[in-house]
Amino acid sequence: MDVNKLLAKLHADLPSENTGIVASYIPELAHAQRDKFGVHAVTIDQREFSFGDYEEGFSIQSIAKVLSLTMAYQRENKDLWKRVGVEPSGTPFNSLIQLEQDMGIPRNPMNNSGALVICDILLDYLADPKKDLLAFVQSLTGDETIYFNERVAASERETSDRNRALIEFMRSFGNIRNGTERLLDFYCSLCSIEMNCRQLSRTFLFLANDGVSLSGERIVSISMTKRLNAIMQLCGLYDEAGEFAFRVGLPGKSGVGGGIVALLPRDYCVAVWSPPLNKKGNSHFGMAFLEGFTSQVGESIF
Ligand code: GLU
């Protein structure tokens, strides 16, 4: 199969009009050009395929939550699950609604409350949290050009009332230990990581490769890899995780910058980027493209 040709054809098959809307609740994200589209796939034996704007950087936003989760999991192992659950939420990414019933324990580490708890845990471990986080992310591929977009981080910090509310609410249940501003600053930096599709698919390759990164380093055990992929499958696309499993059939994670990364264990990782989002906050064309991709290739985890 000529995969590059397939990627181009799948793009050509997308509807002519994109009904999605570019995220603007973080003002800096609104600058993304709505007609950008990129895709890049890398196999565990390091064959690479791409199409479109795959070398153009974008804000990976919530996709980065998988990377902070990996760091916390490395340090806490199964103790981690005392402070955050592994159940799909069925609620929007920034929802407060279940937290009261669940006594301040977020349903999963992929929604904002869960990711904030993960950041709180990391603040207790890391000597220089932002520097150590970026160093970890860069080490997955050996790519030192990956960076925090300071403008995006500042823009999110200024519009973080909802995340501030989540932090204080969880603090009232004893599930947050660090100061609010310090925690928010770390969380907003995490979400501001910028990558292009090529960097993103290569970064996530360790989850397709039994826990071993592109640089050949063991990041997590095979068992932990299974669990991280399970969390992505069940919780990675907000309250559209079921739809993504149904249509695409791969563990994946989306972000409000319009990126989606997905992987077939022991085979490949693919990253797609198209800024306009559907009503659930997932890339409208990204979802459609990946559905076409797994349908044409004829493989998924199911
Ligand atoms: N930084 C974003 C927020 O907290 C992440 C949202 C996302 O990509 O889902 O609102």
The domain segmentation of the chain, as residue ranges, is 3-297
Atom of ligand 1 nearest to the CA of 188: 1
Hey, which CATH number is domain 3-297, 3.30.300.30, 3.40.50.300, 3.40.710.10, 3.30.2350.10?
3.40.710.10
Q: How far is the CA of 183 from the centre of ligand 1 (A)?
A: 15
Question: What local confidence, expressed as pLDDT, does residue 140 receive?
Answer: 97
DSSP strands (E only) in 99-239: 147-148, 193-195
Report long-range pairs for 89-93 (Cβ below 8 Å, ≥24 apart): 89/235, 89/239, 90/239, 91/239, 92/238, 92/239, 92/280, 92/281, 93/62, 93/238, 93/256, 93/281
Choose one of 256, 277, 278 to mutate for the ligand 1 pocket test, by most ligand atoms within 8 angstroms of C-beta: 256
Question: What local confidence, expressed as pLDDT, does residue 93 receive?
Answer: 86
Q: Whose CA is nearest to atom 5 of ligand 1?
A: 62
Helices (H) and strands (E) in the chain, counts: 13, 8
Question: What local confidence, expressed as pLDDT, does residue 94 receive?
Answer: 87
Q: How far is the CA of 190 from the centre of ligand 1 (A)?
A: 10
Q: Which residues of the chain have pLDDT under 50?
A: none
Question: What local confidence, expressed as pLDDT, does residue 227 receive?
Answer: 98
Q: How far is the CA of 112 from the centre of ligand 1 (A)?
A: 7
- The DSSP H or E segment spanning 114 is helix 112-125
Ligand 1 pocket: which residues have CB below 6 Å? Answer: 61-62, 93-94, 112, 156, 163, 191, 255-256, 281
Q: How far apart are CA 187 and CA 182, in angstroms?
A: 9
Which of 251, 235, 238 is CA-nearest to residue 302? 251
10 Å CB burial of residue 133 (0-12, 13-18, 19+) is buried
**pTM of full prediction above 0.85:** yes
Structure tokens at 145: 């050009």
Q: Whose CA is nearest to atom 10 of ligand 1?
A: 94
Look at the block and give the residue holding tokens 């009503």. Answer: 279
Q: How far is the CA of 131 from the centre of ligand 1 (A)?
A: 21
Question: What local confidence, expressed as pLDDT, does residue 121 receive?
Answer: 98
Question: What local confidence, expressed as pLDDT, does residue 1 receive?
Answer: 82
Sequence letter at residue 177: R
Cα atoms in the 13 Å half-sphere on the side-chain side of 201: 26
DSSP strands (E only) in the chain: 38-43, 48-52, 58-59, 147-148, 193-195, 252-254, 259-264, 268-273
